[in-house]
């Protein structure tokens, strides 16, 4: 089984909500990375990490279930 067929099989299980959570999680992950540069976002790093974990957990669970 190739990588692309594996990804297609796993992503076929995701609902629209799961895809939205992946998008939000990816956006928050980008903010976490960006938090190491601007001072304004840096104060919310812990909150962003918690949100990233929350939004990423359900799609990962659904894909690998």
Write out pLDDT tens, residues 10-64.
778 888 888 888 888 898 888 888 877 777 777 888 988 898 898 888 888 888 8
> Which sequence spans correspond to the domains of the chain?
3-64
* N-terminal to C-terminal alpha carbon distance within the chain: 18
Count, residues in the chain: 65
CA distance 3 to 27: 24
The Cα 36–Cα 21 span in angstroms is 23
Which pTM does this prediction carry?
A: 0.55
Q: CA torsion sign, 64 to 12 to 26 to 54? A: negative
């Amino acid at each position: 089984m190739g990588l692309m067929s594996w990804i297609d099989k796993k992503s076929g299980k995701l609902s629209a909500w799961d895809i939205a959570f992946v998008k939000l999680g990816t956006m928050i992950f980008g903010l976490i990375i960006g938090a190491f540069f601007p001072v304004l976002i840096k104060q919310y790093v812990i909150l962003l990490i918690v949100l990233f974990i929350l939004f990423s957990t359900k799609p990962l669970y659904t894909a690998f279930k």
